[in-house]
Structure 1
């Protein structure tokens, strides 16, 4: 970022160049190219002076002349500070404003919509595949395998198959699979005997 003194020098030199260019192009006003040059330098000079005056007038009296409605920021510093603090407190940081902004932000919907869109892309599929392979490659399988085997054995030993088998038998009877299985078995036995 440019330093303030360098910025002031650049602005002053810009005005000098525009003024010199305007003065130098005045004798060539009769030629179309001269008119274009005069207009361009004149616009640059007027714009530069207007910008300088506007910015200077906000902070101090231009050229030290006490022109009314200049040096607005120093004169109204307390009012502006109070207004800014009030706006932040009342409009940005009050409970209702924060609640409304949070209610309007649908984080879960946004995340789910993005995931739904992106999960079907080839890049995401490749990334998930690569990630899973890296995780599996980094796991100490020698230490995990006995733990997994022990957990499977304990769950299998504690698992009660009775209700599942009873439900399966009921479903087979209800749908007539038992009769179909008996017919198939008898047919296969008859073919074997023949």
Structure 2
């Protein structure tokens, strides 16, 4: 996608076909927005009303310890004819960035305050607090062994030997294209779009960005 700005490639086509197969087999609930929320999934799991769920690390703090003790983390199920084994990788990316305006930085009366604020935001104290309260793994290397909750320990051990691939959002050529992709996904999973309609909906925005450039 980064090389040619084309959304349609063997990987995306396989993913769409897999989603449509899930819909065909009635695996996807009709109310995809409600049933697909992370809070809803973890709540069902905590009440032992769901045998398997999909969860990102920011949901870790919601897991009950007694349920977490019985939990086994597994890779995302592999598409049968795909060559990459899902047991060997996970996905990850930076979820926070800081932008300091040139004008503010040039103002010496503000610069000292900016430095203090950024030092605090990137301190071990804040990273540990965010990790403990939400499950956001720190991007920098630091000691997180003080967290003793079962689901945190299992998650940290699971990714220890995994290669990390970038999130797909980093490969779109504009924020608008990525937002269109998310909207198209909602429509696809809900059954409102065909394969071609989904591909065209995303590609049209990526193509418009290329034309502007």
TM-score normalized by structure 2?
A: 0.17
Which of the pair has the greater relative contact order for Cα pairs under 8 Å at 6+ separation? 2
Structure ranking higher in helix proportion: 1
TM-score, structure 1 normalization: 0.19
Q: Based on CA coordinates, which of the two structures has the bigger radius of gyration?
A: 1
